[in-house]
Amino acid sequence: MSYNQPPPAQPQFGGPPPGPPVQPGGKPKWARKRIAIPAALLIFFVGAGVGSAGNTEKDTTSVSSKGEPQPTVTVTKTAAADTSQSEAAKTAGDDKPTADAPKKATVPDFVGMGLQSAQDKAQEAGFRGLTSHDALGRERMQVFDRNWKVCSQNVEAGAFKPTDTDLDFGAVKLGEHCPAKDEKPPTAEDGKMPNFAGDSVKAARSALDSGVSLTVEDALPDDRWVLVESNWKVCAQEPAAGTSLNGQPVTLKAVKFEETCP
């Protein structure tokens, strides 16, 4: 080992290490770069946000000559014109008839026509809701329309009605006479036994509660079966008309309509 070599150099602590070069104005060069990069990113993201908003807003961002971002000015487009146009279109649409509104037509005169012909004529006029009933109150079904004729209609002839109006025809068979007005089937009002004399057995049954025990007998000594009840009329009944109905059995005696009660 040689003791003639000089000792190693010692670190100097006389002050802070030299800083970055400084440009005129007292600002370091690297400080300018740190501001310029975020400003560029800010411009990029603001521009992207405006494009995705459907051009409803317009942002303008400027950068000073020193690379510092300037305040952002936002201009918002008004939708007043679009709103007024939309309201005008809606108002104009209110004046137009809706597609679901039913058409209207004049109701023909059907009285005196065959039931089938009356139904065909109603359909030609645009009416589709067609029903019929027994004008004599016997509650017969109009199975073969050509065997029936129209005595009445529920909508007066000549009336101007929507085509979805229901038309109901009162009818009788071809060999029968129309009544002065439709006869109504009997009803059991206030829980009292109606007077069924002259009514069809079918109408009498319909007037009673469905749970009533009803017996129908031939009023003549022939002891016939009463099969088609709308073709039989009541001659006698038990209990008598006006009796309170408390679930007691009911008996009717009947003959066919062309026959005379004994």
Q: Would the pLDDT of 58 be above 60? A: no
44-55 tens-digit pLDDT: 555 555 455 445
195-240 tens-digit pLDDT: 999 999 999 999 999 999 999 999 999 999 999 999 999 999 999 9
**Higher pLDDT, residue 9 or 145:** 145
Whether residue 181 contacts residue 198, with contact meaning beta carbons closer than 8 Å, is answered with: no
Phi, psi of 161 (to 5 degrees): -125, 155
Q: Which amino acid is at 120?
A: D
Q: What is the mean pLDDT of residues 92-105?
A: 66
- Cα dihedral value 80, 82, 87, 91, nearest 10: 140
- Residue 227 CB neighbour total at 10 angstroms: 7
Cα–Cα distance, 165 to 129 (Å, whole number):
7
Model confidence at 102, pLDDT cuts 50, 70, 90, reads confident
Whether residue 110 contacts residue 150, with contact meaning beta carbons closer than 8 Å, is answered with: yes
Q: What do you get for the CA distance between the two ends of the chain, in Å?
A: 164
Domains of the chain, by residue range, sit at 27-76, 104-173, 189-256
Question: What architecture is domain 189-256?
Answer: 2-Layer Sandwich (3.30)
User: Does the pTM of the predicted model rise above 0.85?
Assistant: no
Residue corresponding to tokens 């009416």: 127
Query: Hey, which residues does 57 pair with through a beta bridge?
Result: 76
Q: DSSP H helical segments within the chain, as ranges?
A: 29-52, 80-94, 115-124, 201-207
Query: Hey, which residues does 191 pair with through a beta bridge?
Result: none
Q: What is the pLDDT of residue 201?
A: 98
Cα–Cα distance, 244 to 74 (Å, whole number):
89
Cα–Cα distance, 89 to 84 (Å, whole number):
9
Whether residue 224 contacts residue 259, with contact meaning beta carbons closer than 8 Å, is answered with: no
Query: Has domain 104-173 been given CATH number 3.30.1390.20?
Result: no
Q: Would the pLDDT of 93 be above 90? A: no
Asked if the domains 104-173 and 189-256 are classified in one and the same CATH topology, the answer is yes
